[in-house]
Structure 1
Amino acid sequence: MKRRTFVKGGGTVAVGGLTGLAGCNAPSGDGAEGTTTETTPAGTTAEDAAETDGTTTEDGGPVQVAMISEGTNYYFDPIGLFVEPGTTVEWVNQSGSHSATAYAEGTGSAEVTRIPDDAEPWNSEIITEQGGTFSHTFEVEGTYDYFCIPHKTLGMVARIVCGQPGGVEGNPPDGEVPAPQDIVDRGSISYEEFAGDG
């Protein structure tokens, strides 16, 4: 049973042009060690963000995930993403105020760890600027669950599989995400597709 209802469709990898504002108005901060944080507007469009090989986009840039507030829905799009080791994922704040924070105990408000044992956790802190970005490079194979700090209890969670599934089973404690093997098989699962499946 899905905890959220999808209202309006978005792209498979990135969604643009949404203007709703919601969430906290806290300043963005530096990410965890091993990450790169940017808070300048993203320069790529949804079309540029089409994933080509699990490592980069068509234009050679990072793979993008949109962070979206739309009415009472708060979500990452795609909600499930497959990447190869060495891939940089860039989260883009399309609307509202969001974070991209790994489920690693003690990171953000995480009370459990749902990333591979040897992986570096990440935390973008809250990004308030529309178009603001945060990037993290995935090196360790396995399954990674993550959340938005201000919207975690509203089910704003997502999953990335790097290389091959492993390390976590089931859903994170705050919402539902696609199964790891479904993510591997499909490459990318949009929020709309996942919400429509339930």
Structure 2
Amino acid sequence: MKRRRFLGRLGAASVAVGAPAALAGCLTDDHDIAMTADGFVPEELTVTPGTTVVWENTSSRRHTVTAYEGGIPEDAEYFASGGFEDEGTARAAFWDDFGGEIDNGERYSHTFEVPGRYDYVCIPHEDGGMYATVFVEE
């Protein structure tokens, strides 16, 4: 069987058995959330206070991890790849000079201390729906 035909059938089989099987290669013990070409995997993650979450760019596209300022608990520490203090600065830095970008194979981590919902986005792919949520629960 030719390689392309085999890979095509393998891809179809992955779709047939569902997303978890198709995405298994994206998830490892080295990171909690993968940044694929067009999304965060998983899109929702639940952790306990004090947990450090690790994102890894598993695609060839540039990504960011940028909290929505209005989408995190009031007492929580703001987080963004690049270490920016607020969402406006993170956005300006990315659009000015790709500040905060995470390239293929690179990682970003943040420790979540305050319980609540944390919504975040990949700035360059926000229009394509690349956003996700971390829930921190006792």
Output the TM-score relative to the length of structure 1: 0.47
- State whether structure 2 residue 102 is matched by structure 1 residue 127: yes
The secondary structure found in structure 2 opposite 1:119 is coil
Report the counterpart of residue 57 of structure 2 in structure 1: 93
Name the aligned partner's letter for residue 10 of structure 1.
L
The secondary structure found in structure 2 opposite 1:118 is coil
Counting aligned pairs with the same residue, the percent is 45
Which blocks of at least 5 consecutive residues in structure 2 are unaligned?
A: 1-14, 82-99
- State whether structure 2 residue 23 is matched by structure 1 residue 66: no
Name the aligned partner's letter for residue 145 of structure 1.
D
**Higher CA-based Rg:** 2
CA distance in 1, matches of 2:49, 2:80: 19
- Summarize deviations over 1:103-124 as a string: whole Å, max 9, x none: 01xxxxxxxx111000111111
Report the counterpart of residue 137 of structure 2 in structure 1: 163
| Cα shift at 1:15 | 0.5
Name the aligned partner's letter for residue 161 of structure 1.
F
The secondary structure found in structure 2 opposite 1:10 is helix
| Cα shift at 1:79 | 0.5
Name the aligned partner's letter for residue 23 of structure 2.
G
| Cα shift at 1:98 | 0.4
CA distance in 1, matches of 2:128, 2:77: 25
| Cα shift at 1:99 | 0.6
- Summarize deviations over 1:81-116 as a string: whole Å, max 9, x none: 000000000110101110111001xxxxxxxx1110
- Number of residue equivalences: 100
- State whether structure 2 residue 61 is matched by structure 1 residue 80: no
The secondary structure found in structure 2 opposite 1:153 is helix
Name the aligned partner's letter for residue 26 of structure 2.
V
| Cα shift at 1:127 | 1.0
Q: Report the RMSD for the aligned CA atoms in angstroms.
A: 1.8
Name the aligned partner's letter for residue 101 of structure 2.
I
The correspondence for 1:15, drawn from 18, 21, 26, is 26
| Cα shift at 1:153 | 1.1
Which blocks of at least 5 consecutive residues in structure 1 are unaligned?
A: 1-6, 17-45, 50-62, 105-112, 165-198
Output the TM-score relative to the length of structure 2: 0.67
